Structure 1
Amino acid sequence: MLKKSKQSLIMAASLFLLFIIFTVMVKTIDVRPIGPEQSSVGFASVNKFVFELFGVNPLWYNVSEWLGAAAMATAFGFAMVGLFQLITRRSIRKVDVPILVLGAFYGILAACYVFFEVVVINYRPVIFTQGSVLEASFPSSHTMASICIMATAMIEFHDYLRKRRGWLMAADTAAVLILVLTVVGRMLSGVHWFTDIVAGVILSAALIALFCLALQYTEERSGRAGTADSRK
């Protein structure tokens, strides 16, 4: 493993460790039943203050839902690119490596979502409709998905659109807007605790660092393989 990959590995490991530490803190510090049906959440004073400051905002909730759908459409687009390459090139080995890495990344992202639906850290600060059950809220899956999908999309854009500066600038701008407005919208909507949003950002950063590590590692391997072949 080269120096660049080692640095990425350290970064990814550090961010995952930070997420674990933060999760433990949420489960142990200032835990009080301030949620619906007396559900408990850590950092209760901070979470209660932020929730009461913004309240519940249906407009921002709907905005963040639509932006989340845009992020999912972006992921679907890359999935279709991979499927097209697989069909036309007739071998998974001939599919672009960044697309394969991105597909694996989406799988990990989905696994994280399922994991935190089963392992509940805390519940939402609101119940949407009468008779509904409490829903898992930590980390904010909307925040996590939007950051992860749009940040990795920007990395892919810089590979596929590097010769089309206008398209690249437009794609980057759209990705940043979707990412930022989704996080802000989710915070202002009031459907998550403040710590849910923070956790979503930290976990997203860790997953993106892992994605970058995988890309660098595959590039280094292909570079070493090319060098070896040239020596034969």
Structure 2
Amino acid sequence: MHTSSDPGGPHSLCTHPSPETGADLSVLTARRTDTWPMSHSIDAVRVLVTELHTEESTAEVALWTLGACALAFTGSLAADRWNRRRGEVSFWTAFGWSMVRIGSLLAALALLAVQVRTAGWITRADPAVGSWFAGHQSPALVSAATWVTRAGSPVSTAVVAVAVAALLARRHRSALPAAVLAGTVALAAVASVVVKDVVARPRPSRVGHLAAATDYSFPSGHVTGTVALLGALLVLMPAGVGPLRRTVAAASATVVVIAVAASRLYLGVHWLTDVVGGLLLGVAAVLVGALAAATWSARFPTVTRFEDRPVPALAS
């Protein structure tokens, strides 16, 4: 953060001249007395706000915030798994760590939204990525991207969610798995619309979009819905599924999400930060759905029927 070397300069943050002796007083260590003019404190606050609006300071704050979010997310996963390996499985402990993961994702999403709204440094890669996709157009790839983006549209996601939810309810003779799936997708869709309206980011200005787009750009509704649908299905996988099949399912879901995100970028209807925001929001919706299901299962164990086990586990 930049500070002026002149103690009396307009950008001085650390020191100010004493009104009586002319000596420098530290803003951080000076005692609050009647001799300390209120105008000096107001000036210090104004300087701090001005400095935080500079590009270098904003980038530093953003980096520290993203680092803290990543540390909280990975740390909560590690702590949760460590407790489970030791056999210390407590619902409220798992609940707390799950809340930490949800909070870290929402904090990262909020930071990204602020950066998008203010055209911050995080959005610098958006034009370059858009230009790269625009320079690699071909009829075959456009056709493939159009097919993928239609398959991953919010309407398609909703239809698949309702159909699969009905099958789950019939198979397991319980409304819980169906409610988890449908509720997760619905929550992601509503949250996406709300964030779009709040951020109000225009679509990329590329002439002749290769797909129809009428609403705001951030976050990508296609990516949000796809992540919510596939993530909820992974959460609801039966307990008897082996590690290999779980790994294959997770890898397949990852490939589908990447394909949907790439199709939106290729067709010129989204920025890179839009699809990243959709990913964060979709994962957060999945964790909320898993947490709600686990809470219901723990509170009403005699009512819940899902292969005779609590569903779903809070730890990923």
Give the aligned partner of residue 76 of structure 1. Answer: 162
**Aligned counterparts of 1:106 and 1:15: Cα–Cα separation in 2:** 17
Match of 1:5 among 89, 95, 102: 95
Q: CA deviation at 1:222?
A: 3.4
Give the aligned partner of residue 293 of structure 2. Answer: 215
Match of 1:105 among 181, 184, 194: 184
Letter in 2 for 1:119: V
Q: CA deviation at 1:225?
A: 8.9
Q: CA deviation at 1:82?
A: 6.2
Q: In the alignment, is residue 179 of structure 1 matched against residue 263 of structure 2?
A: no
Give the aligned partner of residue 136 of structure 1. Answer: 216
Closer/same/farther in 2, CA of residues 216 and 181 from structure 1, 3 Å limit:
same
Structure number with higher relative contact order (C-alpha < 8 Å, ≥ 6 residues apart): 1
Match of 2:228 among 148, 151, 156: 148
Q: CA deviation at 1:152?
A: 0.9
The DSSP-based 3-state class of the residue aligned with 2:217 is: coil
The DSSP-based 3-state class of the residue aligned with 2:219 is: coil
Structure with greater proportional helix content = 1
Q: Contact 1:67–1:178 at 8 Å: present in 2 too?
A: no
Q: Taking structure 2 as the reference length, what is the TM-score of the superposition?
A: 0.54
Q: Contact 1:137–1:192 at 8 Å: present in 2 too?
A: yes
Task: After superposing the two structures, state which structure 1 stretch, 135-144 or 52-61, moved more.
Answer: 52-61
Q: Taking structure 1 as the reference length, what is the TM-score of the superposition?
A: 0.70
Unaligned runs of 5+ in 1: 31-41, 227-232
Q: C-alpha deviations, 1:129-165, integer Å up to 9, x for none?
A: 7xx9863110011111111111111222x128x4699
Closer/same/farther in 2, CA of residues 186 and 5 from structure 1, 3 Å limit:
same
Give the aligned partner of residue 310 of structure 2. Answer: none
**Aligned counterparts of 1:170 and 1:223: Cα–Cα separation in 2:** 31
Q: C-alpha deviations, 1:54-111, integer Å up to 9, x for none?
A: 11753353033243156444313223336758xxx9xxxx733222232322321231
**Aligned counterparts of 2:295 and 2:125: Cα–Cα separation in 1:** 40
Number of equivalent positions: 205
**Aligned counterparts of 1:208 and 1:108: Cα–Cα separation in 2:** 9
**Aligned counterparts of 1:212 and 1:114: Cα–Cα separation in 2:** 22
**Aligned counterparts of 1:195 and 1:165: Cα–Cα separation in 2:** 33
**Aligned counterparts of 2:281 and 2:149: Cα–Cα separation in 1:** 20
Q: C-alpha deviations, 1:25-66, integer Å up to 9, x for none?
A: 211244xxxxxxxxxxx7553211111111175335303324
**Aligned counterparts of 1:83 and 1:185: Cα–Cα separation in 2:** 33
Q: Contact 1:59–1:189 at 8 Å: present in 2 too?
A: no
Identity score, percent: 20
Give the aligned partner of residue 125 of structure 2. Answer: 46
**Aligned counterparts of 1:98 and 1:203: Cα–Cα separation in 2:** 21
Closer/same/farther in 2, CA of residues 223 and 64 from structure 1, 3 Å limit:
same
Q: Contact 1:60–1:186 at 8 Å: present in 2 too?
A: no
Closer/same/farther in 2, CA of residues 151 and 44 from structure 1, 3 Å limit:
closer
Q: CA deviation at 1:205?
A: 1.9
Q: In the alignment, is residue 189 of structure 1 matched against residue 267 of structure 2?
A: yes
Q: Contact 2:165–2:179 at 8 Å: present in 1 too?
A: no
Match of 1:18 among 82, 100, 108: 108
- RMSD of Structure 2 on Structure 1 (CA): 3.6
Letter in 2 for 1:65: T
* Structure with larger Rg: 2
The DSSP-based 3-state class of the residue aligned with 1:95 is: coil
